[in-house]
Amino acid sequence: MTFAALIALLVGMCLLLFRSLIGPTMYDRVLAVNSFGTKTVLVLGLLGFVMGRPDFLDIAILYTLINFVSTIAILKFFRYRSFQVPLVRKTDAAPRGGDRNG
C-alpha cells in the first residue's frame, strides 16, 4: 500500500514538473513549483515512515519552511521587481488636504 502511495506521488510530481515547464503564466509555474515542494515533503514523510527513520520528519518540516518562504519571496519579487518594499505607492504620491507643515 505504501509503495502504491509512493508511485502515485512520483507520478504527480512528474506531472507538476511538466506543468512548471509548460505553464501558460508565471503564476501557474509558481503554483506548480510550490505543489512540487509539498509533494516532496509528503515523499520524505512516507520514506521516513517506511524506513522507520523519524529523522526524515525533521527534514520534511525544514523543507516545508524553506518552500513557504521561497514561494513568498518569488511572488514578491515578481510583483515589485525588487525585494525592497516600496516606500510610497504610485496612487498615494500626491499629498491630500494641502500643506502638512502648517
The reply to whether 102 falls in a domain is no
The predicted-structure confidence for 26-78, as pLDDT tens digits, reads as follows: 889 999 999 999 999 999 999 998 899 988 899 999 999 999 999 998 888 88
The reply to whether 100 falls in a domain is no
The reply to whether 28 falls in a domain is yes
User: For residue 68, what is its C-alpha cell?
Assistant: 513557504
Please state the three-class secondary structure of the chain as a single string: CHHHHHHHHHHHHHHHHHHHHHCCCHHHHHHHHHHHHHHHHHHHHHHHHHHCCCHHHHHHHHHHHHHHHHHHHHHHHHHHCCCCCCCCCCCCCCCCCCCCCC
> What residue numbers bound the domain in which 28 lies?
2-80
The reply to whether 99 falls in a domain is no
> In total, how many domains does the chain have?
1
The reply to whether 44 falls in a domain is yes
The reply to whether 14 falls in a domain is yes
Mean pLDDT, to the nearest integer, of 1-25?
91
The reply to whether 90 falls in a domain is no
Which residue has better confidence, 80 or 102? 80
The reply to whether 11 falls in a domain is yes
